[in-house]
Amino acid sequence: MKLSVDRVAEAPTEHHFEADADWWREWTGAGEDYSYAVAEWPRFEVRACAQGEDLALEGSLDAAIDVECSRCLKRYRQGVRGSFGVTLEPIRDRRPPDPESIEMLERFGLCLGDELDSGWYRGKEILIDPLLAEATAVAMPFQPVCRDECMGLCPQCGVDRNRASCDCKDQRPESPFAALAVLQKDAEESS
């Protein structure tokens, strides 16, 4: 998605962008080996306004993925929603901090700072796809869970504890330090 810097005014303007399979592959690096499938391609809303020479970009994304629960392994659909905000300063004669930032600036007309809330731009036109891709990556679930109450699979017999119970004993130690007590006992017996 391109933004013309000259057309960004002090009053916020709305821009809408819907990703497709090609955008997803290019910008997220997602291939066939991922444990999720995109059910609804991301839709982005971006508000842009000028603050002096700086550009303020705020936006949101909305998508859905079919993913496997990290507790019970059931497939389910999860919404992916997020918001972002970044202020881009003109780079002028400053030098970006690393080679990757230099490449981004040359290729896209912008580079993001270490935090997602700041960065630099150069030129009359910037491609904001790197920002949209970062916002998407941040919004993706790290360990998806079908529901907060999901009890997962039994580690001994593998039964889905959401659907059935089992007679397996919970082999959790009584204390998180129980393993240390065993080591201490072994050390005392060997001395």
Q: pLDDT band for position 33 (50/70/90)? A: low
This prediction has a pTM of 0.78
Query: With the CA atoms of 25, 29, 34 and 40 taken in that order, what torsion angle do they form, in degrees rounded to the nearest 10?
Result: -40
d(CA 31, CA 182): 46
DSSP-assigned letter for residue 67:
E
Q: Is 52 a residue whose pLDDT tops 80?
A: yes
pLDDT for the residue numbered 54 = 94
Q: Is 126 a residue whose pLDDT tops 80?
A: yes
> Mean pLDDT over residues 58-63, rounded?
96
pLDDT for the residue numbered 160 = 94
> Mean pLDDT over residues 54-69, rounded?
95
